[in-house]
Structure 1
Amino acid sequence: FDASKIDLSNANGTLGPLTASADGKTWTATFTPSANINDASNTIGVNMSGVRDLAGNSATGTIASANYTVDTRAADTTPPVIHTAVVTGNQLVLTYTEEGSLDAANTAAASAFAVSSAGNAAISVNSVAVSGKTVTLTLSRAVTSAETTVTVSYTKPASGNNVIQDAA
């Protein structure tokens, strides 16, 4: 048995040198996935011709592994950061510094945001809309020009996937 018996045509990676166990029954190698892959239908095959069992019987054909996933895309471990915040009437638009877009499908609930202005009571957030790199909060009332400071805070929910996050 040698590396020429291994079919990596659907593997999305390479194998390092094969190493046999002392009894020659178990072979191991290190699999290194290809870069920038996101594929859940990978297999590694073994050409069984010439492989014999303990009774000396020859096998035939190729045996393939079960499908496995390779995902080597660069991980974005940096949380979204607010770049600008602009209030116009009852809209507070938060623009984030992100490489990609934010996740519009799993966004935070309005209750995750707290908005207030200097000297005034809290302003309720009625809705949240995410598009590209912006989050638009629709407030319960318009912010006036006399309200020179508006504060917004966000509390990540204790559970679930409905948070401000990257789309990928």
Structure 2
Amino acid sequence: AVTHGTSAADTTPPVLITTGDHRPKVTGNQLTLTYTDASNLDPANTAAASAFVVSSAGNAAISVNSVAVSGKTVTLTLSRTVATAETVTVSYTKPTGDNVV
């Protein structure tokens, strides 16, 4: 007889790190978000760019062109470079289905 081991499903959502060295940061047109999670985020089934909304301090929208996941980090490629002193905000709406952060 062969028994295949199973593990419990990961039901704890990742939490965005908002302070310290791993807080969200922008370099050029790359917005990096780092999350806490028991394991790495799923790069194959991540949320689409449309799940993220980025805007500047003047509330002007900045399009998100793509989303890449590596380990516990999500990198959003923005439609334009963010100026050095510019403040941006990001929001995330959990999509329906399995493709989520």
- Smaller-chain TM-score bracket: 0.7 to 0.9
Instruction: Say which of 67, 80, 92 aligns to 2:14.
Output: 80
**Cα distance in structure 1, aligned partners of 2:46 and 2:74:** 9
- Which structure 2 segments of 5+ residues have no match? 18-22
* TM-score scaled by length of structure 1: 0.53
TM-score, scaled relative to structure 2: 0.85
Query: For residues 11 and 106 of structure 1, what CA distance do their matches in structure 2 show?
Result: 28
Deviation at 1:99, TM superposition (A): 1.9
Structure 1 segments unaligned to the other structure (5+ residues) = 1-8, 13-36, 39-72
* 1:143 partner SS: coil
1:61-80 paired onto structure 2 within 5 Å: 73-80=7-14
Q: How far apart are 1:120 and its partner, in Å?
A: 4.2
- Change over 3 Å in CA distance of 1:10–1:143 after alignment to 2: same
Tell me if 1:145 matches 2:79.
no
User: Per the alignment, in what secondary structure is the counterpart of residue 24 of structure 2?
Assistant: strand
Separation of aligned partners in 1, 2:50 and 2:9: 29
Q: How does 1:39-118 map to 2 (within 5 A)?
A: 73-83=7-17, 84-118=23-57
Tell me which structure has the larger Cα radius of gyration. 1
Number of residue-to-residue matches in the alignment:
96
State the distance in 2 between where 1:142 and 1:82 align. 23
Alpha-carbon offset, residue 79 of structure 1: 0.4
Partner of 2:74: 135
Aligned-residue sequence identity (percent) comes to 74
Does residue 161 (structure 1) correspond to residue 98 (structure 2)? The answer is yes
Cα distance between partner residues in 2 of 1:130 and 1:111 = 15
Structure 1's consecutive aligned runs of 4 or more residues displaced over 6 angstroms after TM superposition are none
